[in-house]
Amino acid sequence: MKYQSQKVAYWFFAVCMLLFGLQLIYGFIMAFAHMGYDGLHSIIPFNTARATHTNLLVMWLLSGFMGAAYYIIPE
Kindly report, residue by residue over 34-53, the tens digit of the pLDDT.
Answer: 898 888 888 989 999 999 99
Give per-residue pLDDT as tens, 66-75: 999 999 987 7
User: Is there a contact between 70 and 9 (Cβ–Cβ < 8 Å)?
Assistant: yes
**pTM of the predicted model, to two decimals?**
0.86
Per-residue pLDDT for 6 more than 90? Answer: no
What pLDDT, on a 0 to 100 scale, did the predictor assign at position 39? 84
Read off the amino acid at residue 72. Answer: I
Residue 38 CA to residue 26 CA, distance in Å, equals 13
